Amino acid sequence: MEVDVNLLCEICGRREAEHRCRLCRRWVCDRCYNVLEGLCTDCLRLRWQATVKPVTTPLLVKLLPLLFIIPMILIFAGFTLVFLGLATGEGASYGGFIIIGPFPIVFGKNVNPTVLTVGGTILTVVAILLTLLPLILRRTL
């Protein structure tokens, strides 16, 4: 486009204007103009701000790091209790539930295996739900 001689950019005011914005109709220089959009930098920024929605993070997503810290604290507390039980020298009862793939393994001494099985199953379901929680939250957002 042809422009009057010595017309300065209406945005920066430093360089010679060579283009006209198709929205605000201001004369702008090469640096203040986006050729692909046909817009000046101000109009381009306003269009971008209007299309980008602010991201809000749900409270549960903010609390997800706690889901990593709490199990570590529980494991540390369990080891501490076992160590204290061994240090007393009395006969201690213990038990556990391990899942390797789809195979549950229940073990223990002086412990009801039914309690271990039910408790282990509940913990397994909770662990699976917590693992799938990010996927569930992503689909609902």
Q: Specify burial of residue 133 (Cβ count, 10 A radius: 0-12, 13-18, 19+).
A: middle
Residues 44 and 64 in one domain: no
pTM attached to this predicted model? 0.36
Residues 39 and 89 in one domain: no
Residues 38 and 81 in one domain: no
Compute how many other C-beta atoms are within 10 angstroms of the C-beta atom of residue 22: 11
Residues 49 and 63 in one domain: no
Residues 130 and 95 in one domain: yes
> With contact defined as beta carbons under 8 Å apart, do 91 and 109 qualify?
no
Which of 11, 31, 54 finishes a domain? 54
pLDDT of residue 3: 47
Domains held by the chain: number:
2
pLDDT of residue 53: 66
Which of 54, 73, 89 finishes a domain? 54
Residues 14 and 32 in one domain: yes
Q: What is the mean pLDDT of each run of 10 residues along the chain (141 residues)?
A: 69 92 93 92 86 68 79 87 75 74 76 78 83 77 54
Domain carrying residue 105? 59-140
The Cα–Cα gap between 56 and 28 comes to 36
Residues 67 and 128 in one domain: yes
Helix residue ranges per DSSP H, the chain: 41-51, 59-62, 66-88, 113-140
pLDDT of residue 28: 94
pLDDT of residue 30: 92
Residues 43 and 78 in one domain: no
Residues 42 and 104 in one domain: no
